[in-house]
Structure 1
Amino acid sequence: MARPREFDTSTAIGGAMAIFWRQGYKATNLPDLLRAMGLTRGSFYKAFVDKEAVYFQTLLRYDTEVVSTTLAMLKACDAPLATTCLMPLFTPSGKADMGCFICNAMVEVAPDNPKVAQKTQEMADRLKEGIFGVLEVRGVGGPSPTHRADLAEMVLHLYFGFQAMGKSGRAQDDWEGRIRRLLGE
């Protein structure tokens, strides 16, 4: 009979996410990962198989905890201006110097890993749909759904750029003014 796991999987994945987010996938070696997860080598391999499997679990966690929460926030916003609803995307978080987990995954891992590429694209598409919904409810972009979709794509790209610039340590600029001008509000 196999022994039951002696660790909390959620805590281990949280530790893995933190180190992948801080160091990147390629720079995180197995000893770093084991320390971050609080696991022995044997427990790690029994539970997760390899580093890539753990990384994918962290993407799933990010999707659930961050992307889904962001989408719920966008949908629940009742402010009259789209810019007001979108500004939480452009407000530095405590992890601003680590950038966006999706962006990091898209740049570092997705080019060599189709599964990660597909998952990050799905998350980006969901974010774009959330942004589109904010614009649609407020009639931003006029009657043209194509124009509105283009605006949503631009806002998404600005968001990813904002995150990348945060990682570089650059001071935050007037994102609210930029978004307001882009959306014509």
Structure 2
Amino acid sequence: MGRPKQFDPDAAVEQAMEVFWRKGYAATTPQDLVDAIGIGRGSLYNAFGSKHALFDKALRRYRDSQALALIEMLEGSGPVKDRLRKTLRFLVEMDLADPDQRGCMAVNVAAELAGTDEGATELVRRMFDRTEGAFRALVEEGQRAGEIASGRDAHAIGSLLLNTVVGLRLMVRVAEGPDRLSRVIDAMVDAL
């Protein structure tokens, strides 16, 4: 009898994240996960406990790798409106370049599981809160620099920018190209 195949749990979570991101939670079967990771079903359950436990790890991996990249772009240097426009365009270009047009995993999870999966809903809520906070901080920076009118409510604008990103990342899933999305980005940034 041969030795069981060894696998890297971190790589397995990464591969599972890709499957959940592409197919969604409900449509992902244990067999999909087994096939993607390259281990037996028993090893999958021994390592992660359940499909949902693996999903939770995959969603956290997404948060740690993908979602934080947006915040890092916003915290860069240069004029605030330029950074904002560049970040929004980057998201759209990245999503349009994806052959599966997966959009944002957090947005997808919110659309699929909000109200039915408390843990996933709370994790996505925290991701959105953090992103909104980064937008608010960017607006406040723009107000200090005189790029954005100081009388405007930075909290409200941060919420509006989060809503814009969620909408863009949903729209990209059915977009035929960047034109409509670019108009949204330009209108949003120019309105500030």
| TM-score in terms of structure 2 length | 0.85
| Distance in 2 separating the partners of 1:159 and 1:66 | 14
Instruction: Give the alignment of 1:83-94 within 5 angstroms.
Output: 83-91=82-90, 92-93=93-94, 94=97
| Distance in 2 separating the partners of 1:5 and 1:59 | 25
Q: Is 1:125 the counterpart of 2:129 in the alignment?
A: yes
Is the CA contact 1:105–1:116 (under 8 Å) kept in the aligned structure 2? yes
| Distance in 1 separating the partners of 2:123 and 2:104 | 15
Is the CA contact 2:20–2:28 (under 8 Å) kept in the aligned structure 1? yes
Cα 1:117/1:34, change in 2 over 3 Å: same
Q: Among 110, 118, 127, which residue is 2:114 paired with?
A: 110
| TM-score in terms of structure 1 length | 0.87
| Partner in structure 2 of residue 73 of structure 1 | 73
Deviation >4 Å, runs of 4+: none
Q: Give the share of equivalent positions with the same residue, in percent.
A: 26
| Partner in structure 1 of residue 150 of structure 2 | 143
| Distance in 2 separating the partners of 1:37 and 1:86 | 37
1:142 positional shift: 3.1
Cα 1:126/1:4, change in 2 over 3 Å: farther
State the AA in 1 paired with 2:162: L
| Distance in 2 separating the partners of 1:120 and 1:176 | 23
State the AA in 2 paired with 1:156: L
Does 169-178 or 64-73 show the bigger shift? 169-178
Deviations 1:127-166 (A, max 9, x none): 0011111111110553347x11111111111111111011
| Partner in structure 2 of residue 14 of structure 1 | 14
Q: Which consecutive residues of structure 2, in runs of 5 or more, have no partner in the other structure?
A: none
SS in 1 for 2:13: helix
Does 126-135 or 86-95 show the bigger shift? 86-95
Cα 1:13/1:59, change in 2 over 3 Å: same
SS in 2 for 1:133: helix
State the AA in 2 paired with 1:177: D
Is the CA contact 1:71–1:127 (under 8 Å) kept in the aligned structure 2? yes
Q: Is 1:162 the counterpart of 2:161 in the alignment?
A: no
Is the CA contact 2:13–2:57 (under 8 Å) kept in the aligned structure 1? yes
Is the CA contact 1:83–1:179 (under 8 Å) kept in the aligned structure 2? no
Does 117-126 or 85-94 show the bigger shift? 85-94
1:32 positional shift: 0.8
RMSD between superposed Cα atoms in Å: 2.1
Does 93-102 or 160-169 show the bigger shift? 93-102
State the AA in 1 paired with 2:137: G
1:72 positional shift: 2.0
Is the CA contact 1:86–1:131 (under 8 Å) kept in the aligned structure 2? no
Count of aligned positions? 179
| Distance in 1 separating the partners of 2:142 and 2:82 | 10
| Partner in structure 2 of residue 153 of structure 1 | 159
| Partner in structure 2 of residue 82 of structure 1 | 81
